[in-house]
Structure 1
Amino acid sequence: MSGTTAGYQGMEAVKNKQWEKAIPLLDKALEDSNSPAWLLARCQAHQQLKNYEQALDDACLAYHSAAERGSGNSRKQMIEAQYRRALVYYKMGRYADADCCAKWSMLLAEGRPAREDDGVEKNVDANGNYTVTWEDAVADTKGQPGQANGSKADILANATNATGSSNTGFESDWKRAYTLRSQILGMMRTTPEDHPGRKVTVTKVPPKPEKKVVKQPEPASTIELTDGDNEPAQPKPELPAPGSVPDEKMKSRVDYYQTNQTITISFFVKDVKKENLQVRMAPKQIQLSPLPRAVAPYVQPGDREATSTLLLAGEIDPSASRWTVTPRKIELTLQKATPGVKWATWGTEVIGPQDDDTADSSSSSSTPAPTATTTAAAPAPAPAASKPTAPVYPTSSRKGPKDWDTVSKEMGGDEEDANDVNYFFKQLYKGATPDQRRAMVKSFIESNGTALSTDWEDVKNRKVETVPPEGVEPKKWES
């Protein structure tokens, strides 16, 4: 693969937020060229993976590379480099350094000279602490590009590009850096006076780091020749040995929801071949095989790692259960052996097959269909005739579903209000913490109103899937 191809693929990986995939591609591309665009892309990937020192080196090198090239994109890339410096310093807790770099990004966006002595880093007191405040940053809009007030002088200045308030073409970059400054200085409000993050240690033109050469693995010493060819065949890449990847890394993400009659489990694994998939159901477990493993590419259909066993938290009726396969997941709709019983959770995934005498020895391969057990199961006990079980609603929370009717009554209010759905959600949102509110809004919107979570740690780094009620198929609006 050429360096240019690797560079474009690395940029595309960053665009798709595939940070770990992007870095080796961009390493390859940067062996022969200090492209500012590739350096900035790798900086972003390192920053997302919390490799802050590497990200800072890439941002500084990108600034120098853009300045030396002097192309039509150079100012844009220098603005981006200063912004990336600010973002990395902010993540490192060096707030004074971060605000200086964000301000320099704004000044470049206003069209100011790159080497102008603006004195930004000199705003310190006798103790060396940065003196710029949040209020100062919010009021700092004098040089905002594209904001002329319409006077004759401003119109003339815009036409001749004589002031920093003209249309520079970098208005969005200016606003982005301006927004970041409000976050940085907002954090400084609660930072102790003796915190090292209040000290300024940066310069406008960053020191130029040395280009780091990434050594590629050496080819194997012995190479076989292909039949009829005079050139040696390329050695095959070495794959990890079976068993070298921990089981925890091979486990898939699972979502579920339940009704009084069924529990639906979404098992997220990509590129499963429906015609080859074997699903073995038993009252207390389900076995899926073969499954592709992104973290273990050596897995073959007969390997232990190609099988997942789902140990269920309750008992099901395999003969009345079914499953479907999509490019992104396997969805299991399981009939509860005891209708009306609420499961606290769906269960757990175990890598490899597990012994279970009641598992069906046959398997489904061509079309998804329910599988029956080979041993007679004891008749399911009749549901208790005491009082009806409260309905259980879909949830993406890992802590299990909630009985929202009980929650509604605990919130107070008269009986008429408690039966009003709008009143219930208003009360729930009103009494939630900021993180719980964020989780509620994110999960409700992303799931198209089919899931509600109050666990921000669970939903903040993933998209909440649409989990429609049984018998309902989600469709996009345009379809």
Structure 2
Amino acid sequence: MATIRHEFYETDERLTLSIFDKGADPGAVKITFEPRKFTYTNGEKSLVLEPLKGQITTDACDYTVGKVKVEVRFTKTAMGRWGGLIGDSPDPLANSASSSVKTTSVKPRKNWEGITTDILASEKEKTTEEDANVGGDATLNSFFQKIYGDADEDTKRAMMKSYSESGGTTLSTNWDEVRKGKVEVKPPAGAEWKKWN
């Protein structure tokens, strides 16, 4: 028989088990509740949990068969978190002193900082020839200084006029186009231009 995928979540009073058996026929599903054992069968698929981490009140447990999963609701005999489905932990009812002990399960946290560092380290650094934005404002500034320094007087005039009249949103090197009139402000897509004086 093949074991079936499952997961659970719990409160102090109940534990809900999801058994992922898509399209299960409610008439073919067989479930058995015992104080420290749970059995699920549906044709060739099965799930046996033994011994359960804690004792359950069998007549208070129930289940529903859905289209994607079978949801099983265990009612715990003793209050507290199990932290797992099966285990050899002593039955809390056998020793009244242990009934106040609660166990918790802590999921390992994803190290997003490490993942980001790994991705950035694996990326190939671009040179200023490949991307003018490499190196931040200093490199970009030197890029524009080179264009301006190597340009003729008309190109320099076009760059100065277009940049200053557009509020820094346009930089043109075409003097024939720029000299015809005032250069319009063209904010980036999704942005709105506001005058601050």
Verify same fold: TM over 0.5: no
- The structure that has the greater radius of gyration is 2
Kindly indicate which of the two structures has a greater share of residues assigned to helix: 1
TM-score (norm 1): 0.20
Kindly indicate which of the two structures has a greater share of residues assigned to strand: 2
TM-score (norm 2): 0.45
**Higher RCO (CA 8 Å, separation ≥ 6 residues):** 2
